Structure 1
């Protein structure tokens, strides 16, 4: 039987402060209070698994190079085991935020730019995030008293780098499955080697969902459940339906502007070799005449 690592009210001592556990939100994630500043933080820890150590190492390498990765703010030293990190607390994740209220045009480009900036930083060193999805994009909101802004977010940060690996890692070369099924690229579903371009596909799925708003998800198969043996095959069929060699119904849909269709079609290439890099997408005309405020 699984037993929790930490108890409510337990105090953990880090390098720079101490933290009091206030709530468990997942099996390996807790909310806590910084006892020095009184600010909320996120505690992440797991027994007998390398994931937290990997997230720590990736953030040590990259977080000072970009503002768009959710940073580690401290490391717990008491207790020393298991490895435990303290992460920045943000108000919400982008999936919930966009489900609650569809993003406007400025918000759409505001968050897209920041996701791509984070990916560009990782990809520059050949690292693959492997789990790009709206749940892993965290946001802070502007002050509720500021009703004159047309972008409701301040911080936008890509989170959960515990499964981030170099493209030369054995998992990538062996085509080990990564990420959640509906966000996976075609090569991942097929069990082929993957690299940074798989993140670009997943970003494209994020973008499509944000453009449509609500709970619209083109890659979720109809008539089958997650437990069905052929679930991944049905997702792959969705890939070919919308982005294969035949006329794609998505890009001819009246709900999507021509500007957005052109941008999406540059991203959603079945062959990973045909997908643009994150730094190239940041220079795309889709971001022209884009003003954040």
Structure 2
């Protein structure tokens, strides 16, 4: 039963009675679920990605069922979670244990995708879904953390990746994707790092958000400038991965800073702890080839301390 239209092509529903196409073990009576329905390749792609990976890790939001009606758009039934992390972190800053709890589960989901050569392409807080614990005295207020919106997940060997197709939201997008050069699994690692910075700071802080509106002609260039300002300069090694025209753009970006660098490494420990800062710096490498893998980050000592 459809109970609410959430946004374009997405509905909240209750599986109040079994239908011939439902799996009663997965979609039990009274469960609240999400239904996505549209004639679009992204829906089929999300179904295929979840079918491939959800039995190998608990951290993508699972596919519960598929609805196929002759005269209607195809639909998939997904697990319902109460909120997303952008709301969760805006309403109350995450504690250090909560940040690590979230980070570990996102990396575990990415590790499974990346091992098979797939790129999520849209890692950001509003694509990390959460359920809240019911009690008030838990150290961590989340009971579930799951990665959503796998409709744009593609192989790193695909034409989309090799051609540098534009992906994700600009403030979370990696430098190589921003520059429209080839990207792969490291682009997810950059986006994860940008998200982690937001979680550490809280209060709707977005480190790469420029001082102009999103429709401004220099919006994306200013994001590149902020990436360079905090984690630059762009290394000489970019000559190996970027065409000459792109290198000219990078030179223009670096000149626009006029020496106004704000290295993340120099941020005070009153602002970001030493261990958090060291972990972030390992992740936020402008050259994608220098970024650690999801598994390497999971093995990092950052996860060993509380």
TM-score, normalised relative to structure 2: 0.85
Does 2:91 correspond to 1:91?
no
Corresponding residue for residue 65 of structure 1 = 56
Which aligned pairs between 1:1-293 and structure 2 lie closer than 5 A?
A: 20-36=1-17, 37-47=29-39, 49-78=40-69, 81-143=72-134, 146-222=135-211, 224-245=212-233, 248-254=262-268, 255-290=271-306
Partners of 1:280 and 1:271 in 2: how far apart?
A: 17
Query: Residues 161-214 of structure 1: CA distance to partner in whole angstroms, max 9, x if unpaired?
Result: 000000001100100000011010000011101000000000001100000001
Report which of the two has the higher share of helix: 2
1:252 Cα offset (Å): 2.1
Deviations 1:209-257 (A, max 9, x none): 00000111111101x2111122111110010000003864333222000
- 1:233 & 1:289 partners in 2: Cα distance? 37
Deviations 1:96-134 (A, max 9, x none): 000000000110100000000000010010000000000
How far apart, in 2, do the equivalents of 1:216 and 1:101 lie? 13
Aligned equivalent of 2:23? none
Q: Distance in 2 between matches of 1:166 and 1:22?
A: 36
Partners of 1:284 and 1:269 lie apart in 2 by 16
Structure 2 gap ranges (5+):
18-28, 234-258
* Superposed displacement of residue 80, structure 1: 5.9
- Structure 1 unmatched runs, 5+: 1-19
Paired positions, count: 267
Contact 2:119–2:188 under 8 Å retained in 1: yes
**Which whole-Å CA distance do the structure 2 matches of 1:289 and 1:238 have between them?**
30
The 1-side partners of 2:282 and 2:267 are apart by 17
- CA distance in 2 between counterparts of 1:225 and 1:279 reads 36
Q: Secondary structure at the match of 2:34?
A: strand
Take 1:179 and 1:209, find their aligned partners in 2: how far apart are those partners? 17
Pairwise CA RMSD: 1.2
Q: Distance in 1 between matches of 2:218 and 2:262?
A: 23
| Cα distance in structure 2, aligned partners of 1:203 and 1:65 | 21
Between stretches 72-81 and 274-283, larger displacement belongs to 72-81
Change (3 A) 1:80 1:259: farther
- Whole-Å Cα distance in 1 between the matches of residues 280 and 262 of structure 2? 12
Distance change in 2, residues 1:113/1:80 (3 Å):
farther
Moved over 4 A (4+): none
- Is the partner of 1:161 in helix, strand or coil? coil
How far off its partner does 1:45 sit? 1.5
Instruction: Provide the rounded CA distance (Å) in 1 between the counterparts of 2:185 and 2:174.
Output: 11
Q: Report how far residue 79 of structure 1 moved.
A: 5.1
Higher strand share: 1
